[in-house]
Amino acid sequence: MENLIALLIGAPLLGAAVLLLGGRRLDKAGHWIGTLLAAVSFVIGLALFADMLGRSADDRALHQRLYTWIPVEGFQADMAFQLDQLSMTFVLLISGVGTLIHVYSIGYMEHDERRRRFFGYLNLFVAAMLLLVLADNYLLLYFGWEGVGLASYLLIGFWQHKPTAATAAKKAFLVNRVGDMGLSIAIMIMFTTFGSFAFGPVLGATGETSEGKLTAIGLMLLLAACGKSAQVPLQSWLGDAMEGPTPVSALIHAATMVTAGVYLIVRSADIFNAAPDAQLVVTVVGAVTLLFGAIVGCAKDDIKKALAGSTMSQIGYMILAAGLGPIGYVFAIMHLVTHGFFKAGLFLGAGSVMHGMNDEVDMRKYGGLRKYMPVTFITFGLGYLAIIGFPGLSGFFSKDKIIEAAFAKGGTEGWILGAVTLLGAAITAYYMTRVMLMTFFGEKRWQPDADGNPPHPHESPKTMVIPMVLLAVGSVAAGAFFEFAGFVEWLEPVTGFAHGHSPLSATTVTTATVAVMVIGVGLAYVQYGRKPVPVVAPRGSLLTRAARRDLLQDDLNHAVFVRGGTHLTRSLVYVDHTLVDGVVNGTAASVGGLSGRLRKLQNGYARSYAVSMFGGTAVLIAATLLMRAV
């Protein structure tokens, strides 16, 4: 069975190669090839999953070694894969949701003349993401990590004729580079410390390593996770990444790629377990981002950017849970999977709405769409109920567990983290209700588009509707399925699990979670359901205005890094011009002057050369005689 692992990656990689190298003759069939190969990957994933279930819990990990990637004395990197329960979960999520989004894109990108290329990029992304989760060493993981970064860049900037999209792609790439530096530094520290970067030797040797080194590795891994998963302080790219086509936002910037940071932390669980300081920083980053994203999500009028804020916030939950240690790892992954379902569903719903509304993204120009797009309304509504944690739906189970684990952290930290997660749950309910009410309820506030065509909202084609329905089913059922099918027991052999001892009983936490959700929904209803929504955004409070500008993150980056960097480079240029060039030019000028003088000796007269020969000989002989005499 283990020989199939490479095929998981190989199928979409083949698709990417065929579609991107095949040229125009594949324009007609390209989308089917891309979708088929993503589906092949999913089917292989299912087969491996069935096989894995057939073995005992301790014997489930599979390994495949293809070849030695970098054979150097004392430094060996293998092209080798590891498929354990954690990787399996990701494989099914990536290839499953990925396939659905391929199907959706067939309809969504129907009128785009570069559709074949789009599917090539999607396949490339799926292959890179699978490589990331299947690698059995950090260097190969880094390869996949950069691969998804590249695919993300290509897809955000897919509509490169729009300057905003091109800029957003560059921004995402640059911000991600900062995080990638963290990962490469972490790998370097690992290599110097453990002499290897394969998961086995590194994670198995954490017991004999100093805590300082582990903390350093942990913090660098966290930096990497912050970049890829859009966590504070590297979160600024995610909102702009919504310039890409909506299926991209659903697949990459909601369901899969942005969760790579969570994967990295959970995969490196042994390192973080042994470095409590790094763990604390992880929880703080998670908690801050959780609130940050939620607040930004409340203020955005662009439906995709509101959802992007929500993604940031939900990944904040996962990172926070991953920072809690063994009491949280499993729940981080559980929330990651349920979030994969409902957030992909929500984004696809948003794409469907935009499809019907002449690509309008401003929710203030929606309203009353539930009658015109019933299926989108129902599937989006189910995703909405799942994300706010409506009892029984998937978000309820996974988020409730994280809140419980946050309280179980213990001490003052536990109370603070618990309070933050509860507050986050309330804000989540608020902003999602706001999105729901502004889009599907209330009076019509439709505006004609730039060409003066009034929108004619209609239900989307079947290729778009079916994935939305399937994801809605997942949003509803995944949580309960995981809860009762034993997700904890499934992941425990890989990530470890410890029961937290919460100062509050499980019932109290659940009641509180539901209560804050009701409060959030109620507040949003009072504000957006009972009063008509103004088409032009009101000025808003100071916080609202700041949140509309992503809580001034871009301004901060601009002031500190862009302006600071400009000043730094200018002063360096000055030093280069005056000092370095001065020394170099001065040396050249003095050598030039000296040689100008020496040149005069070469006058071409044989007799003057003879004089210098005689003179030189005379001096030499005199010196020799003098030395003899002394």
Place of tokens 């309203």: 367
Strand partners, 82: 63
As a whole number of angstroms, the distance between CA 13 and CA 361 comes to 33
Task: Identify the CA nearest to 94 among candidates 226, 223, 255.
Answer: 255
CA distance to 35, 53, 477, per residue, from 46 (Å): 16, 10, 18
* CB-based contacts of 180, cutoff 8 Å, min separation 6: 142, 145, 146, 149, 224, 227
User: DSSP states of 592-606 as a string?
Assistant: HHHHHHHHTT----H
How many other CB atoms are there within 10 angstroms of residue 592's CB atom?
A: 9
**Complex with another protein: residue 374 or 616, whichever CB lies closer:** 616
**Complex with another protein: residue 515 or 613, whichever CB lies closer:** 613
Q: Angle at CA 175, nearest 5°, toward 165 and 423?
A: 95
Task: Identify the CA nearest to 357 among candidates 346, 345, 367, 344.
Answer: 367
Smallest gap from Cβ 623 to another protein, in A, equals 19
**Complex with another protein: residue 508 or 612, whichever CB lies closer:** 612
As a whole number of angstroms, the distance between CA 28 and CA 602 comes to 78
Smallest gap from Cβ 624 to another protein, in A, equals 17
Which residue type does 433 have? Answer: T
**Complex with another protein: residue 454 or 604, whichever CB lies closer:** 604
**Complex with another protein: residue 3 or 595, whichever CB lies closer:** 595
**Complex with another protein: residue 506 or 610, whichever CB lies closer:** 610
Smallest gap from Cβ 602 to another protein, in A, equals 5
CA distance to 149, 158, 553, 554, per residue, from 153 (Å): 6, 8, 21, 19
**Complex with another protein: residue 70 or 618, whichever CB lies closer:** 618
As a whole number of angstroms, the distance between CA 310 and CA 318 comes to 13
| Alpha helices (H) along 328-444 | 329-356, 374-388, 394-408, 411-440
**Complex with another protein: residue 539 or 599, whichever CB lies closer:** 599
**Complex with another protein: residue 484 or 605, whichever CB lies closer:** 605
Smallest gap from Cβ 587 to another protein, in A, equals 22
Contact set with another protein (CB under 8 A): 599, 602-607, 610-611, 614
Smallest gap from Cβ 589 to another protein, in A, equals 19
Smallest gap from Cβ 588 to another protein, in A, equals 19
Smallest gap from Cβ 603 to another protein, in A, equals 5
Smallest gap from Cβ 612 to another protein, in A, equals 11
| Cα maximum dimension of the chain | 119
Token pair belonging to 375: 């299926």
Task: Identify the CA nearest to 123 among candidates 142, 107, 99.
Answer: 99
**Complex with another protein: residue 25 or 599, whichever CB lies closer:** 599
* CB-based contacts of 54, cutoff 8 Å, min separation 6: none
Contact, 260 vs 193, CB < 8 A?
no
As a whole number of angstroms, the distance between CA 278 and CA 103 comes to 41
Smallest gap from Cβ 626 to another protein, in A, equals 19
Cis status, amide bond into 233, omega within 30 of 0:
yes
**Complex with another protein: residue 210 or 608, whichever CB lies closer:** 608
Contact, 469 vs 375, CB < 8 A?
yes
Smallest gap from Cβ 606 to another protein, in A, equals 5
**Complex with another protein: residue 204 or 593, whichever CB lies closer:** 593
Length of the chain: 630
As a whole number of angstroms, the distance between CA 378 and CA 476 comes to 12
**Complex with another protein: residue 535 or 613, whichever CB lies closer:** 613
As a whole number of angstroms, the distance between CA 295 and CA 297 comes to 5
Count of alpha carbons within 13 angstroms of residue 378, beta-carbon side = 8
68 SS3 class = strand
Smallest gap from Cβ 192 to another protein, in A, equals 57
Contact, 127 vs 113, CB < 8 A?
no
Give phi and psi for 239, each to the nearest 5.
-60, -45
Token pair belonging to 539: 């000025």
Task: Identify the CA nearest to 413 among candidates 281, 271, 273, 275.
Answer: 281
Smallest gap from Cβ 615 to another protein, in A, equals 10
**Complex with another protein: residue 411 or 604, whichever CB lies closer:** 604
Smallest gap from Cβ 182 to another protein, in A, equals 59
Smallest gap from Cβ 599 to another protein, in A, equals 5
**Complex with another protein: residue 29 or 610, whichever CB lies closer:** 610
Three-state helix/strand/coil letters over 528-547? HHCCCCCCCCCCCCHHHHHH
Task: Identify the CA nearest to 149 among candidates 246, 260, 41.
Answer: 260
Smallest gap from Cβ 614 to another protein, in A, equals 6
DSSP annotation of 453 reads P
